[in-house]
Amino acid sequence: MKKLQLILVTILITMVMMDTYAQQDPQYTQYMYNTVVINPAYAGNRGVTSIVGLHRSQWVGLDGAPRTQSFSIHSPVGEKNVGLGLSIVNDALGPAQETYFGVDFSYTINTSDNGRLSFGLKGGGHLLDVDLSKLNIADRSDPRFSQNVDNKFSPVIGAGVYYHGEKFYAGISVPNLVETEHFDRSTNDNSSSSFVEQERLHYYGIIGYAFDLTDQLKFKPSAMVKAVTGAPLQVDATANFLLMEKLHMGIAYRWDAAWSGLVGFQVSDSMLIGLTYDRESTDLGNTVYNDGSFEVFLRFELFNEYDRMLTPRFF
């Protein structure tokens, strides 16, 4: 157990305190239900007011493992070619806690009878807190660990493009175009240090389609690609099935990382709940202290009878 804690603390220090190029944005298995968080062009694209809350506990059983909560609300406005939204993400990892908040704006043009192309912008901020007292530091006199970080603010500016037809969708986005350094480079009498944590550009691509297998069964494959400088390319492939427009069931694979099982239930026309379990396919998944990762979400939508009949949406 002590060895695992030492490994985890080393990873945390590397990610939070050093000049690292590791992936920083929160991870989602149910990205297809949480699209506006990573792509502002999705705002208003469901044609109704959509509210989504999500919680993710990663690597359950390991102290300091990532925990993520997200909340979003978005809706079309006016003649429905404009969408507005609000998204908030809280992400905790060991001694660090990050909060992202942004206002999402989209503008949509009709490309055909069923096709719609949207352009989106996100504007907001990012708050970083680091509580170094949570670390077991061997040398408390080390100046690099002498001061906590409290509500360190940096701006967030993102952009995206999203297209959807009746059964197909695709999008590309960069949720934050600002590469902010959270720690200043400094020197002291004994040595020089270059401890700096910098936001890296994260590029997202999503794609999906809804196939009608029978009148009561739909097959909804989807994929998400995430790329960031200095980290391996992340590819999520998902095979989801929708039975009687009520029960969602599927499996997913994160390349060289994890297998996932997904289940969701359409409680009513307005409410969808879902649960996901991830199991690491790496050596980390074989430890007795890692019980896998859990993700749960709730989507609630407000619409009138006209919206419900006109825009049955499967993504």
Q: Which two tokens stand for residue 252?
A: 């997913």
Lowest mean pLDDT among 31-40, 132-141, 242-251: 132-141
Half-sphere exposure of 304 (CA within 13 A, CB side): 1
pLDDT for position 134: 65
**CA–CA dist 35, 115 (Å, integer):** 18
What is the structure's pLDDT at 60? 82
- Identify the band that residue 78 occupies on the pLDDT scale cut at 50, 70 and 90: confident
pLDDT surpassing 80 at residue 88: yes
User: Can you tell me which residue has the tokens 């806690």?
Assistant: 97
Residue 298 lies in a domain: yes
Determine, yes or no, domain membership for 190.
no
Question: pLDDT tens across 150-197, in order?
Answer: 778 899 999 999 999 989 999 999 999 987 665 544 444 444 444 455
Q: Tell me if 187 is assigned to some domain.
A: no
pLDDT tens-place string over residues 32-70: 999 999 999 999 999 899 999 999 998 887 777 889 999
CATH number for position 21:
2.40.160.40
Residue 276 lies in a domain: yes
pLDDT given at position 275: 96
Assess if residue 193 is contained within a domain.
no
Specify if 120 maps to a domain.
Answer: yes
What is the secondary structure of 57-68 as a DSSP string?
E-STTSTT--EE
pLDDT > 90? residue 79: no
Select the more confidently predicted residue: 21 or 110.
110
If one compares 75 and 94, the residue with the highest pLDDT of the two is 75
pLDDT cut 90: percent of the chain above it: 53
Task: Let me know if residue 315 belongs to a domain.
Answer: no
Q: Which position has the higher pLDDT, 190 or 84?
A: 84
Looking at the structure of the chain, the number of domains it has is: 1
- Please, which residues have CB within 8 angstroms of residue 305's CB and are 6 or more apart in sequence? none
Is 188 among the domain residues? no
| Residue 2: both structure tokens together | 């002590």
Average pLDDT over residues 265-293: 82
Lowest mean pLDDT among 179-183, 247-251, 257-261: 179-183
Per-residue pLDDT band at 135 (split at 50, 70, 90)? low
Per-residue confidence at 272, pLDDT binned at 50, 70, 90? very high
The predicted model gives 288-292 an average pLDDT of 70
**What is the per-residue pLDDT for 137?**
64
Question: What's the domain range around 26?
Answer: 2-182+199-310
Give yes or no for a contact between 298 and 52, defined as CB atoms under 8 angstroms apart: yes
Q: What is the Rg, in whole angstroms, of the alpha carbon atoms belonging to the chain? A: 21
Mean pLDDT of the chain: 81
Residue 275: HSE in the Cβ half-sphere, 13 Å Cα cutoff: 3
The whole-number pLDDT of residue 149 equals 75
In which band, very low, low, confident or very high, does the pLDDT at 141 lie, cut at 50, 70 and 90? Answer: low
Q: How far apart, in whole angstroms, are the C-alpha atoms of residue 186 and residue 309? A: 61
